[in-house]
Amino acid sequence: MTQARTSLRRRGLVVVAAAVLGVVLLSIALGSKALSLPEVWHGLWTPTGAEGDVIVRSLRLPRTALALVAGCALGVAGALMQGHTRNPIADPVLLGVSAGAGMFVAGGIFLLGVTTLYGYVWFGFAGAFLASAIVYFVGNRTRGGATPVTLALGGAAVHALFTALTAGMLILDEQALELYRFWTVGSVSGRPAEITAQMLPFVVAGLVLAAANARGLNSLSLGEDVARALGVRVGLTRLVGMAAITLLTGVAVAACGPIGFVGLMAAHIARSITGPDYRWVLLYSALVGMALMVAADVLGRLVARPSELPVGIMLAFIGAPVFIYLIRRRKPVRL
Amino acid sequence: MKAIRVGPVSAVIRPRHVLVPAVTLVALFAAIVANTGRGEFDIPASDIVGVLLGGGDRTDRLVVLQFRLPRAAVGAMVGAALGLAGAIIQGVGRNPLASPDILGVTAGAGAGAVAVIVLAGEYGAVSGPLAEVGVPLASIGGALAAAVLVYVLAVRRGLSGYRVLLVGVGIQAVLTSLISWLLVKASIVDAGRAIVWLNGSLNAATWENAQAVGIALVVLLPAALVLSFPFGALNFDDDTARGLGVRIDTTRAVLIVIAVLLTATATAAAGPIAFVALACPQLAVRLLGTGTPPLLASALLGAAVTVWADVLGRTAFGAVELPVGVLTAALGAPYLLYLLVRSGKART
């Protein structure tokens, strides 16, 4: 079994990487303005400032890059959340973590007048941390660990709370509302190109922490007592995991707005290929997250031509049925 | 405790069951007076009470009855409808966490109404027959569609399972993003109105709104009360309830439709006001010490809580008036968290 599993994991990696590459190419080639392939090629390699070149270089490339980075961050965050809560339906938006980050970011932007990503990403971290702490606390207080239901409902409550507080802040100001309603659906278009570069340090830090967390997470999935007996420092592992989740979710939300269901789907797809080993699950989740995010963005551009559906809405339309399917399964996924 | 017998009908009267509703009624009345007094110029409470009892001078009468009372009246009736709907769903489902907001019914009503506001309205205000018939109808349609969807996807062995809650969360996610999409498509004026509406606002409440909710309450409340006699039996498992002579499937279906209609009319009038339907029946259960959510007390509590939340939203933040839905969500969400923690501890 291990032999077969290992070779499946290796071959799967090639397939998933190819899928990422494929959707990236599609994302550059397709959009509301139809460009021929030679035009796209021209824009990529020998830009002269023609309309097609500008579209490719200043619109499609940046949003593809942003979608890649955000998808990677959210995919890994979702897998980490599912691992730490041992809960198959954990996801940054469903557990209210994105809403927490969103409220703090909105507060930073609209109340304190912070304008740069470097400025408000810290608010995103604070909010993400606060929200995950609340959800974790609620889950932990229940007997025998958090069930999917307590977590999901706790998440829904936290989500509602933070969303209401955000709305309360924003009703004061129509201009803020104008910005906010586009921000709140989660989108990768229309963000300044340098945002992606600014996100990178935080995402890399988060990914490093996640990678360091993988072994501990493997032991923790046997239960805290067994993990402790195996010599894992449970508190430290949990803390590193929380830090990684906070970093990844906070920065993704600060850059793109709340985007749900990527983490949920990425982790499940990853686990169905790799089995339970988190070293592989995390790696695959990163790649699958990227592919899903870019693919959803491309789809959103195509289904509502000439306008487009923001990626956050597209993902909810795809992801919610997956979520419901996961719940309806006769034999629930055990983590 | 005292038992009363009149011919074949018997009932048990507990002091709490009289006292709590009475106190709630007083609180509701106080909230209405406080809410009505607040405005461009404040009217002292004594004058308002005078007007409400049929006296008062002409200016006060005009201002209170024409301009200010609709807000409080719509708030009270919407709250009552939501409290009642929540009590019905929690009673029928034997599930203390079920409520129209969590099951996605409210979001369905919201999506229907926003679709009409954004797609058919001009400058965010639908007028004429579209406003009077279109928005409520769309909202009822959306609510029913969401309810049917949840039912089809979730119900295998009754509503008691947790699956139904999670499916509701999923449906809600889809509908919420549908609403967000409609808002992005809309012009900023439409979006501004729609977002205020979406947070549950009584700002634009008129006597027409009050009328619509009032009619729904007058028709549906007695129906619910009559049909809820077998609630006690529904508390047992399905077989026992059948054995006790309850036609559970019919009763359950009709009661749920009533709850959905109540939610939809309330949502059409004031937007989705979060957590009233979830929290008030639970409060009522705790205050009265009953097994199932008491319908009338839940409705009364819903009314009082909603109007008080509106008063709070209008007065607590200085010049800024927050929509009532923001307040109820901010107060109700921690309460849901508390219920979760408690129920987790109590489970054996």
Largest CA distance in chain A: 65
Measure the CA–CA gap between A262 and A285, rounded to whole angstroms. 9
User: Cβ–Cβ of A167/B326 closer than 8 Å?
Assistant: yes
Strands (E), chain B: 2-6, 9-13
Predicted-complex ipTM score: 0.76
Measure the CA–CA gap between B260 and B246, rounded to whole angstroms. 22
At residue B347, the pLDDT reads 39
Residues of B in contact with A324 (CB under 8 A): 153, 166-167, 170-171
Residues of B in contact with A310 (CB under 8 A): 180-181, 184
CB contacts under 8 A, A 125-184 vs B, are 134, 138, 141-143, 147-150, 152-154, 156-158, 160-161, 163-165, 167-168, 171-172, 174, 177-178, 181-182, 184
Of A161, A310, A316, the CB nearest to B174: A316
User: Cβ–Cβ of A171/B322 closer than 8 Å?
Assistant: yes
Q: Which of A235, A249, A253 is nearest to A206 (CA)?
A: A249
Domain ranges of chain A: 2-328
Please provide the DSSP assignment of B119-147 as one string: HH-BTTB--HHIIIIIHHHHHHHHHHHHH
Burial class (CB in 10 A: 0-12, 13-18, 19+), B286: exposed
Q: What angle do CA A68, A71, A77 make, to 5 degrees?
A: 140
B30 vs A: CB within 8 A: no
Residue of B nearest to A177 (CA): B192
At residue B348, the pLDDT reads 30
CB contacts under 8 A, B 237-276 vs A, are 274-275
Of A89, A178, A313, the CB nearest to B177: A313
Measure the CA–CA gap between A155 and A151, rounded to whole angstroms. 6
Tell me A77's DSSP state.
Answer: H
Are the beta carbons of B62 and B41 closer than 8 angstroms?
A: no
At B11 the three-state DSSP class reads: strand
Measure the CA–CA gap between A67 and A301, rounded to whole angstroms. 13
B50 vs A: CB within 8 A: no
CB contacts under 8 A, B 135-174 vs A, are 153-154, 162-163, 165-167, 169-174
Among A94, A161, A172, A307, pick the best mutation site for testing chain B contact (most B Cβ within 10 A): A161
User: Cβ–Cβ of B191/A181 closer than 8 Å?
Assistant: yes
Among A130, A135, A136, A142, pick the best mutation site for testing chain B contact (most B Cβ within 10 A): A142
Residue of A nearest to B330 (CA): A161
Q: What's the whole-model pTM score?
A: 0.81
B286 vs A: CB within 8 A: no
Q: How much of chain A exceeds pLDDT 70, in percent?
A: 90
Q: Per-residue pLDDT tens for A270-324?
A: 988 888 899 999 999 999 999 999 999 999 888 877 778 888 888 988 888 888 8
CB contacts under 8 A, A 175-194 vs B, are 177-178, 181-182, 184-185
Measure the CA–CA gap between A102 and A98, rounded to whole angstroms. 6
At residue B346, the pLDDT reads 42
Interface A–B counts its CB contacts (< 8 A) at 147
pLDDT tens-place values along chain B, 348 residues long = 677 777 777 777 788 888 888 899 999 998 888 888 877 777 888 888 888 887 778 888 887 888 888 889 999 999 999 999 999 988 887 777 788 888 889 889 889 888 887 777 554 455 556 666 677 788 889 999 998 888 888 766 555 556 777 788 888 888 888 887 887 777 666 666 676 677 777 877 788 878 888 998 999 998 888 887 776 666 677 777 778 777 777 888 888 889 999 998 898 888 888 889 988 998 888 888 887 888 899 999 999 999 999 998 888 777 777 888 888 988 888 888 888 777 654 433
Of B162, B169, B171, the CB nearest to A156: B169
Superfamily of the domain at B17-91+98-346: ABC transporter involved in vitamin B12 uptake, BtuC (1.10.3470.10)
Tell me A116's DSSP state.
Answer: S
User: Cβ–Cβ of B340/A161 closer than 8 Å?
Assistant: no
**Low-confidence residues in chain A, pLDDT < 50:** none
Domain ranges of chain B: 17-91+98-346
A3 vs B: CB within 8 A: no
User: Cβ–Cβ of A153/B336 closer than 8 Å?
Assistant: yes
**From 2.60.40.740, 1.20.1510.10, 3.40.1670.10, 1.10.3470.10, which CATH number describes the A2-328 domain?**
1.10.3470.10
User: Cβ–Cβ of A152/B329 closer than 8 Å?
Assistant: no
User: Cβ–Cβ of A164/B333 closer than 8 Å?
Assistant: yes
